Structure 1
Amino acid sequence: MFQSVQVVLRAIAVVSISLWHLAFALPSILRRDYAGRARRLVVALGPAFVKGAQLLSTRRDVLPAAWCESLADLHDRVPPMPVRVARKVLRSAYGGEPPFTVDWDSVRSGSIACVYRATLDGRAVAVKVRRPRVRRLIERDFAIMRAGASVMSRLPWFRGLPAVAVLRQIGDAVATQADFEAEAEALAELRSLLADVGYLHIPEPLPELGAEGVLVMEFVDGLVPLVAEETPAERRSELAQRVLFCVYRMLFLDGLVHCDMHPGNLYLGRDGRIVLLDAGFVVRLEPRVRRLFAEFFMHMARGDGPHCAEILQESAEGVAEWADVAAFRRGTIALIEESSGRNARDFSLVRFATRLFDLQRVNGLFAAPEFIFPLLALLVLEGRINELDEEVDFQAESIPVLTKAVMSGLLKIGPRERG
């Protein structure tokens, strides 16, 4: 009962904040600063809304460039918590003064936490300090979203869509970003799994120095954002391919996927290596999900529409009594034939996924919620890859990793491949 009351109060607060910003939006409208007003509204609404805006900021094929540039500030330049609040969090976590000296002017600020440079026995470390009550706020916001999705699912257009289940999974994953013990474990595991990739660096977590709400890790100096304007032109294509390889390794071989590879987490180090930060939004894929997603990707790269349709039918969350499976298969085959072999300039994952989900919805096949995470990982990354090299072939770049998965036995060659 108490939780329900808190969710209702939060819903009232969300509506009030939105109305307040709309009421004071006239000066921004006159200046045509729509993106700036939207950014301020998102910040005021809180971390769950900031995460959505971060994803949208990477999609220049969905939003105008001015909006993307404005929302890009939310990757690591969300207004930080006051220093007095951060000091209080640290003193509470350590039962007094922390064992390191913090440079409070070095802050990088996201929706979940602020990151500072600190010094411990002459060594530079990065200290990530969680915002107070942030997990509780995320959980309430996603409860509101699930309630809205539940209402919408009763409407004819949305009936049967697993929107509530999808929001539950995403909400749980976003809320887990506030669990710094889990993030330290994810950082360590990613470092171990990808240790053989010489051009990738993941900071080392220092769990023995952390505390409740505080994560301490290796500090990596001299980072440059992995964006086209900051990257040497002669290296852009190579770096795009290398980033894609790392993501495909996670998706098809390792099964531990970083779903938050936006510009605030992806950099180029002084030594020329790619640096991947912040393992808060890392999801472990179930073997079945990894297998089916890998098989779909393999057959899509081959332009094999019939087998892609089979995989989607096998992985469906449910099939309605009125489903038109034959129409779904025809539509899927046409979509795969149209999309196969396209480079980044001519292929949009957003448009592809939208058309695919629409085919499923119209024909009564409902996508499994578990597939949202591999898709989300690629959606976040696609905009960055497109900026670095619009000629890269997303599908072709997956083939070496998929081949390795087959050779290692992680991806079985069954009837689909023999057909």
Structure 2
Amino acid sequence: MFSITKKSSRQREILEIVFSNGWDYMRGLLVGDKPEEPRLPSPDVLRNILIELGPVYVKLGQLLSTRPDLLPGRYVDALTDLQANVPAVAWGDIETQLRQQFSQPLDQIFSRIETEAVAAASIGQIHRATLKNGEEVALKVQRPGISIIVEQDIKLIKSLADLVAITDWGEDYDIVAIAEEFTSALKAELDFTSEAEYTDKLRQNLSKTRWFDPAKLIIPKVYWEFTTPNLLVLEWLDGVPLLLSEPSKKQTNEDDPRRGEITSLLFRAFFQQIYLDGFFHADPHPGNLFYLNDGRVAILDCGMVGRLDPRTQQILTEMLLAVVDIDARRCAQLTLELAESSESVQLGRLTNDYDSMLRRYYNLSLAEINFSQVFYEILQISRNNKIRLPSNMGLYAKTLANLEGVTRSFNPEVNLLNEIKPLMTELFRNQLLGNNPLETLLRTALDLKSLSLRSPSQIEMFLDRVTSETLKWNIIIPELTSLKNSLNDAANRLSFSIVLGSLIMGAAMISTGAKTPQLSLISNILFAAASLVGLWLLVSVLRSGNLR
């Protein structure tokens, strides 16, 4: 729990940064006020706060930028290219870190290491080196002491999540679980062997394909013999970011047809990862897509990946088709199929929201539709209807947005749908038959055989039960329970009303003909009983709230 009276030096630093940027909601949390509904600062202010808080929070902001299912699009855009203003660690400290990773001297492994960092980030920095056998490699070295900083800040992030969890928003989005997910991702960033495994898997998946020429696309090779949790050694690739490459400077495809070839290559490579492999590079921003000196395209920095199971792949494919067909009802149904939590969702309202969104695309050609923006709007509709989607939906939408953004900047004439049309047939074939069509057909044949063998006996049993009148239907309709209770209440009140009327009439008759004190006493008792029953009935009706 944060408190202004009990704070560490790190908490004090966070307070100062928050106060200086004027984020009143977070200020209240940090000084122990009762949490209210979360109120984010403007995207630029949030970005500045994260930069000032340091490398761990910059990394947290980068992770948040992959969750458009949680944040509006303008926040995602502001955090997408978030980079900490982190100076490179001095070579002496990096050299010490490198020596700790090897059991032999560095000069026996490398013939040369450039002491000036090629790039510096929040978790590590990159140096170029040459192995003894002459191969050029990139050394991604973890910043010394970063693990201690990460552990400290993770505790603070979890404390803030516990506070926000008290609010309705925190409960709806299970903010504690989200914080746990983010902190686990931060910890995973500290183990470079995970990134090495992801890199290897993507390299293997894309090395054999019928969708594009794998010789034109490359993912750097991992040198496992030198890689450790604190050091990642990769093949060095000479090139420049795609948007700075020579083809991107041309104005039309006629000037340089390579632009069209490169955008088709990227779309096919990423759609294979998403819709066929179910394992995809989730951060294709301009700095991770390189145009190499030999004309190939490289995908770098494979530390962030997404995963999709076959069912989700199929739903997303159908969602794409539903958007193209402007089918609001189908979009709503598919959203509910994807949802992790969709309690008390009104299908009619959800369908109307989709109809309002899709209506804006009625008069647009497919070339004019920004599909990544469409998926951002789908996530916004889910948020508005308190539908919690799996976290991989955020990665999916963010990957599409980055990919479409980069390719449109590189090649303004690109159209996502035109790029994937040739792939749709194989995509549907794969979703119907799987990676091994023969195995799928054999399994289907066995299921049909089993069904054909069981069907006659099951039909015979069904007909016997129908003719012998022993068939019972167990139908449960939730709304009938409330209807039954309402009818029972109405019947009970009607019965009491009849009894009440009878008591009053009996008492009146006895009172009229009463000639003895005993009859007068009975009449008074009946009137008293009728009054009590009437009073009870009146109170019951008033308490039910159904007095009309």
What's the TM-score once normalised by structure 1's chain length? Answer: 0.77
Tell me the distance in 1 between the aligned counterparts of 2:151 and 2:375: 27
Residue identity matched to 1:113: G
Task: Give CA-to-partner distance per residue, 1:296-315, whole Å, 9 cap, x none.
Answer: 23433443332222111111
Summarize deviations over 1:53-100 as a string: whole Å, max 9, x none. 69879x9x948x9x89xx95839x842122122111111111453322
- What count of residue pairs does the alignment treat as equivalent? 386
SS state at 1:79 partner: coil
**How far, CA to CA, are the matches of 2:183 and 2:402 in structure 1?**
17
- Match among 75, 82, 93 for residue 90 of structure 2: 82
Secondary structure of the corresponding residue to residue 137 of structure 2: strand
Give the C-alpha shift of residue 259 in structure 1.
1.3
Which is greater in Rg? 2
Whether 1:42 aligns to 2:51 is yes
User: CA-to-partner distance for each residue in 1:256-306, whole Å, 9 max, x for gaps?
Assistant: 111122222211011211111121112333343333333323433443332
Out of 306-315 and 362-371, give the one that drifted further.
362-371
Counterpart for residue 182 of structure 1: 194
| Cα offsets for 1:12-62 (capped at 9, x unmatched) | 44334555789xxxxxxxxxxx989966961651144246369879x9x94
CA distance in 2, matches of 1:211, 1:363: 45
Query: Is residue 318 of structure 1 aligned with residue 329 of structure 2?
Result: no
Please give the residue correspondences for 1:157-176 in structure 2 after superposition, counting only pairs within 5 Å.
160-176=172-188
SS, match of residue 207 in structure 2: coil
Give 3-state SS (helix, strand or coil) of 2:215's partner: coil
The equivalent residue for 1:91 is 99
Match of 1:109 in 2: 120
Assess, with a 3 A threshold, how the Cα gap between structure 1 residues 163 and 257 changes in structure 2: closer, same or farther: farther
Q: Does 1:194 align with 2:191?
A: no
Q: Does 1:398 align with 2:414?
A: no
- Answer yes or no: is 1:14 the counterpart of 2:14: yes
Matches within 5 A, 1:351-390: 352-353=374-375, 355-390=377-412
Q: Is the alpha carbon distance of 1:96 and 1:381 closer, same or farther for their aligned partners in structure 2, counting shifts above 3 Å?
A: same
Answer with 271-280 or 401-410: which moved more.
401-410
Aligned pairs (5 A) from 1:13-412:
13-17=13-17, 42=51, 45-50=54-59, 52=61, 62=74, 74=83, 78-95=86-103, 97-98=105-106, 99-100=109-110, 101-121=112-132, 122-135=134-147, 137-138=149-150, 141=153, 144-145=156-157, 147-156=159-168, 160-196=172-208, 197-221=214-238, 223-227=239-243, 231-233=248-250, 234=256, 235-321=258-344, 323-339=345-361, 347=370, 349=372, 352-353=374-375, 355-409=377-431
Q: Find the residue that maps to 2:264 and give its secondary structure.
A: helix
Instruction: Note closer, same or farther for the CA distance 1:329–1:37 as it changes in structure 2 (3 Å cut).
Output: closer
Higher relative contact order, structure no. (Cα contacts within 8 Å, ≥ 6 residues apart): 1
In structure 2, the CA distance between the partners of 1:163 and 1:245, relative to structure 1 (3 Å rule), is: farther
1:182 partner amino acid: S
Range with bigger deviation, 120-129 or 363-372: 363-372
Indicate how the Cα distance of structure 1 residues 339 and 328 shifts in structure 2: closer, same or farther if over 3 A, else same.
Answer: same
Q: Distance in 1 between matches of 2:417 and 2:172?
A: 30
Give me the TM-score of the superposition, normalised by structure 2. 0.61
Offset at residue 343 of structure 1 (A)? 6.1
Partner secondary structure for residue 250 of structure 1:
helix
The corresponding residue for 1:26 is none
1:201 CA drift (Å): 0.8
CA distance in 2, matches of 1:163, 1:354: 21
The gaps in structure 2 that reach 5 residues or longer are 2-6, 23-42, 209-213, 251-255, 435-548
- Distance in 1, matches of 2:44 and 2:391, equals 31
Conserved? CA contact 1:178–1:280, under 8 Å: no
For 1:37 and 1:73, the matched residues in 2 are separated by: 11
Asked if 2 retains the 8 angstrom alpha-carbon contact of 1:207 and 1:216, the reply is yes
Secondary structure at the residue paired with 1:215? strand
* Counterparts of 1:104 and 1:39, CA distance in 2: 31
SS in 1 for 2:116: strand
Over aligned residues, Cα RMSD in angstroms? 3.9
- Aligned AA (2:173): L
CA offset digits 1:166-215 (Å, max 9, x no partner): 44334433432322212222111111110133321111111012234111
Once the two structures are TM-superposed, the CA of residue 145 in structure 1 deviates from its matched residue by: 4.3
Question: Does structure 1 retain, via aligned residues, the 8 Å contact 2:51–2:57?
Answer: no
Q: Which moved more, 1:188-197 or 1:126-135?
A: 126-135
